[in-house]
Every structure is written in C-alpha cells, then in structure tokens.
Structure 1
Amino acid sequence: MTITRLLARPMLATIFVAGGINALRNTEAHADKAKKVTDKVVPAARQAVPGAPIPTDPVTLVRINAAAQLLAAGALATGRAPRLSAAVLAASLVPTTLAGHAFWAEADPQAKAAQKLQFYKNTSLLGGLLLAAVDTEGRPGLAWRARRAAADVRREARQVAKDARRGATLAKAQLT
C-alpha cells in the first residue's frame, strides 16, 4: 500500500465515524429528517425485494445507517476490504444527503446556502468514495483479467489449431 492510500483512507473515513456517532447520539432528530426519505424509499425497497425484512421505522433505519457507516468507515480506515467499505459508505451517503441536506426545500436564504454547501460537500465525498471503490491499488482489476484470460485462450486456440494442421499435414505426407 502506498503512503497516499495509507493516509487518504483514514482521512476519508473520518467524516463517517463522526457522522455515525452523531446519528447514534441524536437518533430522534435524525429520524425526523429521515422520515421524508424513508417514507418514499422503504415502500419501493419492499416492492423490489418482497421477502426482505426491511424495517419501516425511521429510528431503526437511522441506527442501521449509522452502524453501517461506523463499520465501513473503520474498515476503510484500516484498509480492510477498502473497495467494499467505500461502496457501502457511498450507498449510505445518498439517503443521508437527501434527508439531511435538502436545500431545495429551504425557504430561508441563509439556511438554503448552508444546506447547499453541505450537499455539495457530500457530493464531493461521494466522488471520492466512488474512486476508492474502484481503486485496485495498481493491480489489474477483474475486467482487465477477464480480457487478458480471453486473449490468452484465443492465442492458445490458434496455436492448437496451427499444431493440429501441421500434424495433419505430416500424417497425410506419411500415408502417401
């Protein structure tokens, strides 16, 4: 691991540790804000995955989101499953941002400006998390490996076909 990754991952995770702790300490306040989003998302999620035990209570959902952020932030900070943990944090950031920083619903210009700034900050964090989620640390990713394996198979198949033709030509020459 490079020094950049060693420093950047904990730095990126810090806001999620603080946010997760804050959400657990102030669950009721966060649940009030989250209710607008959960009222729309939970029915859609239940329809998409009918058998899944998806809670409807905003307090429970806030606690689940906070726990997911704390666990994923800890994993990202320590370099354990960094791609997966960055993806989990990115997924948890979207509803958090929509519920907590709905600047479009603010009437007060100062409150609107503050919420817009927080919304943009979260958008920037989402971009960083997406980059972290696809970071292969300089090693080839699965797509590259699959293309390489396919090219290797094609090359070997051509060689086998060439060897077979050569063998057939030699066999034909010996028979005649």
Structure 2
Amino acid sequence: MTVVRALARPLLSAIFIVQGAKAVRNPDPHVPKAEPVAERLVPLIKKVAPAQVGDRLPESTRNLVRLNGAAQVVGGVALASGSGRRLGALLLASSLVPTTLAGHRFWEETEPATRQAQQVQFLKNLSLLGGLLLAAVDTDGKPGVVWRTTHGAKAAKRETKRGAKLAKREARRAAAHAAHEAHHLAHSARREAKLATAHAKADLPFL
C-alpha cells in the first residue's frame, strides 16, 4: 500500500463512520426526510433483490435509517483499514445514494438560499460517490481481473500460434529428414544390389 492510499482511505471513510454512528444511535432526526425515499426504494428493492434479502429489510423507516447507518460504519471501517476495502467502498457508495436522495432534494426547495445550500450538498455527495467508485475499482497497483483475463487470453493465443509454428517447423524437419533417409536407403539398396550382382557374376564358372 502506498502512502497516498494509506492516508486517502481513512480520510474518505471518516465522514461515513461518524455520520453512520450518529444515525445508528439517534435515527429520529433523519426519519421525516427518509420516509418518502423509503416508500419508493423498499418496494423496488424487494422486487429486484433475492427473497432472502428483501424479506430481511426492516419495515419501519426508523430501522431502515439505522441499517443504512450501520452499513456506513461497516463500510467505512473496511475501507479505512484496507481489509475488504473494495467491498467497503461499494457498500458506502450504495448507502450514499438513499442518503443523498433523502437529505438533499434541492429541486423541492422553493427558497433560493435553501435550494442553493441543498444543491451544494447534493453535488458534494456526488463527488464522494465518484471517489468511492474509484476506491472500489482500485487494485492497489496490481492488475485487475479484467486485465488479467484479457492478458491471459492474449498470452494463450500467442502461445498457441507459437506452438503451431513450432509444430509446422518440426514437421518440415521430420519430413526432410525422412526424405533424406529414404534417399540414402534407396541409394544403399542400389549399391548393395550392384555389389550382389557383381559377386554373383564372379562366382559363375563359365564367365
């Protein structure tokens, strides 16, 4: 791990750990804003997610706020410690979406100053989301799965071509050697035949 990563991960995680812990201890201030989002997201999650996941979702918004806070604490600790950092970053990114939609719906504000303040917070959360997505795909300087898969396929293709060329070259060598041996055997057979004929003629008494 580089020094930059060792510093950046805890810095990125700090806000989630602190705010998540507050939401777990005291979710009530967040419930009114979270209610409209929960009413829309929970049925969608239950419809899309597997049954074992959807059935475990809390029914009350208060418990949903606590669950989201707990996810932020767990994800923040994982990212900050580096243990399960990529999964932790994904967990934080997932928890940030409902948090942003619940807390910073600037388009619903009518008072200009409040609208502007909420818009700034909304954009700030989008920036955090971008940082979390980068952290989720950060391989710590090591080749990623996609690169390894592509590189492995290319290497296998190169090895296959190299093996095919080597096989063709060896086949040509074997064919040339076989032809040379056949020519040598044929020449030797002709010479032996001539010698045998000469010996046979020499043994005849009347010649």
- TM-score interval for Structure 1 and Structure 2 normalised by the shorter chain: over 0.9
Higher-Rg structure is 2
The alpha-carbon distance between structure 1 residues 131 and 115, as it changes in their structure 2 partners (threshold 3 A), is same
The 10-residue stretch of structure 1 (148-157 or 104-113) with the greater mean CA deviation from structure 2: 104-113
Q: Distance in 1 between matches of 2:42 and 2:90?
A: 20
| RMSD value, Cα | 1.5
Q: Which position in structure 2 is the counterpart of 1:30?
A: 30
Output aligned runs, 1:108-147, within 5 Å. 108-147=111-150
**SS at 1:71's partner residue?**
helix
TM value normalised by structure 1: 0.92
Q: Which position in structure 1 is the counterpart of 2:97?
A: 94
| Counterpart residue identity of residue 49, structure 2 | V
* Structure with bigger RCO (C-alpha 8 Å, 6+ apart): 1
Compute the displacement of 1:107 (Å): 2.1
What CA deviation, in whole Å up to 9, does each residue of 1:20-61 have, x standing for no partner? 022123312212211111111111111113523133321121
Output aligned runs, 1:1-176, within 5 Å. 1-49=1-49, 51-52=51-52, 53=55, 54-176=57-179
TM value normalised by structure 2: 0.79
Q: Distance in 2 between matches of 1:124 and 1:29?
A: 24
The 10-residue stretch of structure 1 (130-139 or 34-43) with the greater mean CA deviation from structure 2: 130-139
Give the share of equivalent positions with the same residue, in percent: 49
Q: Which residues of structure 1 form unaligned runs of 5+?
A: none
- Count of matched residue positions in the alignment of Structure 1 and Structure 2: 176
Q: Distance in 2 between matches of 1:4 and 1:56?
A: 41
Q: Distance in 1 between matches of 2:141 and 2:175?
A: 51
**SS at 1:60's partner residue?**
helix
Compute the displacement of 1:4 (Å): 0.9
Contact 2:24 2:67 in 1 (8 A): no
Contact 1:38 1:56 in 2 (8 A): no
The alpha-carbon distance between structure 1 residues 110 and 139, as it changes in their structure 2 partners (threshold 3 A), is same
Compute the displacement of 1:138 (Å): 1.7
Q: Which residues of structure 2 form unaligned runs of 5+?
A: 180-207
What CA deviation, in whole Å up to 9, does each residue of 1:104-125 have, x standing for no partner? 1122222222211211111111
